[in-house]
Amino acid sequence: MHAIDTIHSAVTLRNGVSMPTLGLGVFKAGSAAPCIDAVFCALQQGYRHIDTAAIYRNERQVGQGLAKWRAEGHGEGSAFVTTKLWNKDHSYEAALSAFERSRQALGLEVVDQYLIHWPVSGLRLEAWRALERLYEHGVCRSIGVSNFTVRHLEELAQHARVMPHVNQVELHPLLPQPELVQWCRRHDIQTVAYSPLTKARFLDDPVVLEAAGLAQKTPAQVLLRWGLEQGHVVLPKSTHPERIAQNAAIFDFELTAKVRRLLESLAQRGERTAWDPTDVV
């Protein structure tokens, strides 16, 4: 496994692109100053990866946060940016146009990662062809999918020229999705954990609190460290500077076997906090 011992730890994707293991999520970070401030604050604290999407309606603010940070002397390539194609843009031409809108809003020449946000029925293969073209033209450095189940990935494997470099799905101790994670691992697809803090819904769960107490860390930190130790990239969202810092202080400890067992005991709950793609045909 790759080393996960500094805030700049990164995984190497199948195509050689380096992707930082800690990314700031900006879903519901808003479309105004708080989002710009959160991005700038995270970058100043050492985050090197921001995860947004067209549907979050804050790509422009992410771009402004990045620009503010770059004005301090950091180059364009020094932070990794992911954005995503929204469901209404799944035709081939619409996907190409949507990418261009996202790229301009972000203010980037090249986008580090572009994902299909959701496996839209009947259209996802066409959308994937558009992402392959963008990748082959060099305007995004990696491409991937989000919310794809094993079934959706197996379908894609029948048609793709380039298999996804990542699959971004909900992953945390209450929803570890072992079958999907194994499938991705076997096919060299990096797993990216969204809602790694369970949207804060289970941070006060007695088992999570016990694990945090034993580790002498906060509940958020043990959940994020669990994600890193599973080999996932993790994307905690916060707009509060002190939480942005807390969520990054996860590289100087390891979970003990006892803490890991406690967290593993949560798997049976199967708690999904975001949307469920299981039945998408």
Ligand X SMILES: NC(=O)c1ccc[n+]([C@@H]2O[C@H](COP(=O)([O-])OP(=O)(O)OC[C@H]3O[C@@H](n4cnc5c(N)ncnc54)[C@H](OP(=O)(O)O)[C@@H]3O)[C@@H](O)[C@H]2O)c1
Q: Which stretch binds ligand X (CB under 6 A): 60-68, 85-93, 199-207, 254-262?
A: 199-207
The answer to whether 207 and 265 are in contact (CB under 8 A) is yes
Q: Does 21 bind ligand X (CB under 6 A)?
A: no
Choosing from 237, 248, 260, 263, the residue that interacts with ligand X (CB under 6 A) is: 237
Question: What's the rounded Cα separation, in Å, for the pair 26 and 152?
Answer: 26
Question: What's the rounded Cα separation, in Å, for the pair 26 and 22?
Answer: 13
Q: Does 253 bind ligand X (CB under 6 A)?
A: no
Beta bridge partners of 145: 116, 167
Nearer to ligand X, 20 or 196 (CB): 196
Question: What's the rounded Cα separation, in Å, for the pair 47 and 58?
Answer: 18
Q: Does 190 bind ligand X (CB under 6 A)?
A: no
Q: Does 200 bind ligand X (CB under 6 A)?
A: yes
Number of residues that bind ligand X (CB under 6 A): 28
In the block, which residue shows the tokens 């390891």? 254
Helix or strand holding residue 183 (H, E): helix 178-186
Coil, strand or helix: which one is 112? Answer: strand
Choosing from 199, 229, 253, 272, the residue that interacts with ligand X (CB under 6 A) is: 199
In the block, which residue shows the tokens 């950091």? 74
Q: Which of 47, 56, 114, 194 is catalytic?
A: 56
Q: Does 236 bind ligand X (CB under 6 A)?
A: yes
Q: Which stretch binds ligand X (CB under 6 A): 11-19, 72-80, 208-216, 243-251?
A: 243-251
For residue 237, the minimal CB distance to ligand X (Å) is: 3
Helix or strand holding residue 106 (H, E): helix 92-106
Q: Which stretch binds ligand X (CB under 6 A): 60-68, 99-107, 158-166, 193-201?
A: 193-201
Give the side-chain half-sphere CA count within 13 A for 133.
13
Question: What's the rounded Cα separation, in Å, for the pair 58 and 110?
Answer: 18
Q: Does 235 bind ligand X (CB under 6 A)?
A: yes
Q: Is 56 a catalytic residue?
A: yes
The string of DSSP codes covering 203-217 is TT-HHHHHHHHHHTS
For residue 172, the minimal CB distance to ligand X (Å) is: 7
Q: Does 64 bind ligand X (CB under 6 A)?
A: no
Q: Does 184 bind ligand X (CB under 6 A)?
A: no
Q: Does 247 bind ligand X (CB under 6 A)?
A: yes
Assigned token pair, 226: 């669990």
Active site residues: 56
Positions touching ligand X (CB under 6 A) are 25-27, 51, 117, 146-147, 168, 194-200, 203, 218, 220, 235-240, 243, 246-247, 274
